[in-house]
Structure 1
Amino acid sequence: MLKNIQEWLLVLCIIGGVILIGNWIGYDILPIAALPGMSVLILICLTGLIIGKLVPLNIPSIAYIGVLGFILTIPGMPGSEQIVKWTADVSLLAIATPILAYAGIGIGRSWADFAKLGWKTIIVGMCVLLGTFLGSAIIAEITLRLQGII
């Protein structure tokens, strides 16, 4: 278990460093300003991973991480205002970029397995991406029109 925790912590710190750099380059937030928020996010992730290993239920660790983050930021919870303040300095897109890059590398490493799924999978994937994009654009258009912004 200790070896798992060390590996998780190393990976989380590496990804956290990449996120801090992306946050700095993309959103002009200095890494030292975003470090407390990133540290909190790393600790929440690490705690969720540990809970996922200790609890004998077959629930993914991401569920524990999400619930823990939700509980810690409930208004009125001790320290929630500080956690929200710190994590506000870490941009969501700065977090998503390295995660999506890692997912892309993972798919790229198993390209042969992906190719075995056939050409229909590529078409379905393109339709899913197109549908997600168009759905998001329609929702944004309706919302902005209702608010009178456009």
Structure 2
Amino acid sequence: MPTNWDIAPTGVHGPEAAEVLREYYRDIVGRYYGRTATEAEIDAAMAEEPSGALAPPEGLFLVARAPDRTSAGPMGCVGLHWFDGGRIAEIKRLFVAPAVRGLGGGVRLLEAIEKAAKEGGATLARLDTRSDLVEARRLYEANGYQEVAPFNEGAYAEHWFAKQL
């Protein structure tokens, strides 16, 4: 599995974040509807679930460039939002572009955000996901996350996971 992903923080309101978040929403909205998402549907989803909480000081947003494709722009992302005085880090928007899935990006992004969460003082990482995102659920379970009782009332949350850091 390649390890040379380039993963770095970026401003969640900047152009790189906007580019990769749009692709994230294109993917999850299309999967939700079972067809290609329209631009209006993507816009609506982005407005319904804004990413502003992933900005410092309460958050962090990382973008990833895939091995041998660093000039192609961001091919993945992950964010976190600290809660409970920084002891809890909620992972959000973990995404790897379909063109580079299977190259270890999901694991590398998860490792990077967990490291940042620990460095920020978190002792627990948590996240939620949908039932149709089976690859994401497998990734979390394979990396030590255990399904837990619901900790939020997210409109699309169907599974909740947590891991001690």
TM-score calculated relative to the size of structure 1: 0.30
Q: Which has the higher helix share?
A: 1
Greater per-residue strand proportion: 2
Structure with greater Cα Rg: 1
TM-score computed with the length of structure 2 as normaliser: 0.28
